[in-house]
């Protein structure tokens, strides 16, 4: 494997980062994975424990690895909290330090994970070329500020760059507190789940497809923002109902038991012409992706039960 394609992946133990590693290896990259709490991997990946909010630690990592490519996912991403968290400010600063250090270490191409939250959600179809950028949250504003800074500084740093705007992902290893993970985990375990009426439409994409899309984007020359999404809108209610059907527990879904978020847009879907122009095509449609996700939660639930049964008893 040639070190002319040596990539540093940040947030490599996170939801999207872990699913980018194998596609990068398949594309001939030597992969270095950085995370605050690295997860073990069976792939030929060099894993580094690093807190990127520590500027000195980030600089030392870049000098040690000297990556030619950077795939930057690391960010504060606690479900429900990241929208307004003050950590967003810290991650803008840390990301700018990382990008400058990457260029100083000889890096050539950087791809950073952005968000559909950068767009003006008054528009139903979100297009890189036509939709205004008007974030309605601190998270969206922080991501957009980083993108704007990268766009302005990249020429002076000699960097080729791209910005992958993520939409609504689901799949294995999704954190609790998000729609598909909560519904799938609850129903697989035989619990009831309370959800909103679910009339809103969203653009859902399987996380493995997102990981492949980022690997493809990094291994190319396309610059600027690219939506990483399916390009199809699905009603949230239909997604939840499909999980119910696939688990055999549709009767345990309580639609309307939770209010929809205030000001929730009725429809948000990505324009994906730029992604398709790269030659990307998703491997999962919604049915196969949800079936794959449910299989993961079944295995995780069974493993948890086995651990519970095998754990030694303790006297009080």
Can you give the CATH number for the domain in which 64 is found? 3.40.50.720
Q: Identify the pLDDT of residue 313.
A: 30
Query: Which sign, positive or negative, has the C-alpha torsion 285, 287, 289, 292?
Result: negative
Which letter does DSSP use for residue 86 in this model? T
Q: Is residue 131 part of a domain?
A: yes
Q: Is residue 140 part of a domain?
A: yes
Q: Identify the pLDDT of residue 43.
A: 73
DSSP assignment string, 244-306? HHHHT-GGGEEETSSPPPTT--SB-EE--HHHHHTT---S--HHHHHHHHHHHHHHHHHHHHH
Name residues whose C-beta falls within 8 Å of residue 24's C-beta, 6 or more positions apart in sequence. 7, 9, 31, 71, 215, 218, 219
The 10 Å Cβ neighbour count of residue 184 is 28
- The pairing of strands 6-10 and 69-72 is parallel
Q: Is residue 187 part of a domain?
A: no
Q: Is residue 196 part of a domain?
A: no
Q: How many domains does the chain divide into?
A: 1
CA atoms within 13 A on the CB side of 70: 31
pTM over 0.85: yes
Q: Identify the pLDDT of residue 315.
A: 29
- The pairing of strands 30-35 and 46-49 is parallel
Q: Is residue 258 part of a domain?
A: no
Q: Is residue 7 part of a domain?
A: yes
Q: Identify the pLDDT of residue 307.
A: 36
- The per-residue pLDDT string of the chain (316 residues; one tens digit each, 9 = 90 and over) reads 346 899 999 999 999 999 999 999 999 999 999 998 766 566 799 999 999 999 999 999 999 999 999 999 999 999 999 999 999 999 999 999 999 999 999 999 999 999 999 999 999 999 999 999 999 999 999 999 999 999 999 999 999 999 999 999 999 999 999 999 999 999 999 999 999 999 999 999 999 999 999 999 999 999 999 999 999 999 999 999 999 999 999 999 999 999 988 889 999 999 999 999 999 999 999 999 999 999 999 998 877 754 333 333 332 2
Please return the burial class of 66, using the count of CB atoms within 10 Å of its CB with bins 0-12, 13-18 and 19+: middle
- Look up tokens 């998000």; give the residue: 178
Please return the burial class of 28, using the count of CB atoms within 10 Å of its CB with bins 0-12, 13-18 and 19+: exposed
Q: Is residue 285 part of a domain?
A: no
Which letter does DSSP use for residue 43 in this model? S
Which letter does DSSP use for residue 190 in this model? T
What is the SS3 assignment for 15?
A: coil
Q: Is residue 111 part of a domain?
A: yes
In angstroms, rounded to a whole number, what is the distance separating the alpha carbons of residues 82 and 140? 10
Q: Identify the pLDDT of residue 282.
A: 96
SS3 content of the chain, % helix, strand, coil (to 5): 40, 20, 40
Q: Identify the pLDDT of residue 302.
A: 79
Which letter does DSSP use for residue 71 in this model? E
Q: Identify the pLDDT of residue 260.
A: 86
Q: Is 279 left (phi over 0), alpha (psi -120 to 50) or beta?
A: left
Q: Which domain holds residue 86?
A: 3-170+203-229
CA atoms within 13 A on the CB side of 155: 3
In angstroms, rounded to a whole number, what is the distance separating the alpha carbons of residues 19 and 285? 17
């Amino acid at each position: 494997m040639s070190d002319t394609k040596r990539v540093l992946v940040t947030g490599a133990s996170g939801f999207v980062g872990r699913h980018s590693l194998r596609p990068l290896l398949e594309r001939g990259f030597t992969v270095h994975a950085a995370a605050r709490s690295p997860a073990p991997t069976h792939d030929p990946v060099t894993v580094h424990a690093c807190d990127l909010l520590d500027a000195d630690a980030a600089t030392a990592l870049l000098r040690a690895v000297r990556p030619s490519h950077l795939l930057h996912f690391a960010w504060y991403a606690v479900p429900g909290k990241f929208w307004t968290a003050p950590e967003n400010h810290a991650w803008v600063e840390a990301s700018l330090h990382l990008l400058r250090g990457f260029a100083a270490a000889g890096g050539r191409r950087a791809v950073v994970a952005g968000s559909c939250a950068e767009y003006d959600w008054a528009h139903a179809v979100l297009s890189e070329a036509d939709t205004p950028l008007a974030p309605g949250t601190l998270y969206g504003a922080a991501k957009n500020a980083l993108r704007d800074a990268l766009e302005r500084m990249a020429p002076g740093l000699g960097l080729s760059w791209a910005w992958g705007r993520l939409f609504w992902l689901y799949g294995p290893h999704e954190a609790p507190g998000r729609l598909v993970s909560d519904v799938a985990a609850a129903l697989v375990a035989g619990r009831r789940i309370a959800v909103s009426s679910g009339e809103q439409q969203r653009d859902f994409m399987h996380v493995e497809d997102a990981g492949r899309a980022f690997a493809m984007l990094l291994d190319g020359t396309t610059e600027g923002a690219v939506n990483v999404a399916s390009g199809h809108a699905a009603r949230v209610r239909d997604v939840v109902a499909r999980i119910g059907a696939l688990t055999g527990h549709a009767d345990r879904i309580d639609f309307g038991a939770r209010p929809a978020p205030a000001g929730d847009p009725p429809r948000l879907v990505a324009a994906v012409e730029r992604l398709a122009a790269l030659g990307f095509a998703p491997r999962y449609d919604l049915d196969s992706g949800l079936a794959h996700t449910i299989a993961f939660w079944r295995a995780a639930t069974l493993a948890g039960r086995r651990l519970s049964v095998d754990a030694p008893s303790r006297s009080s």
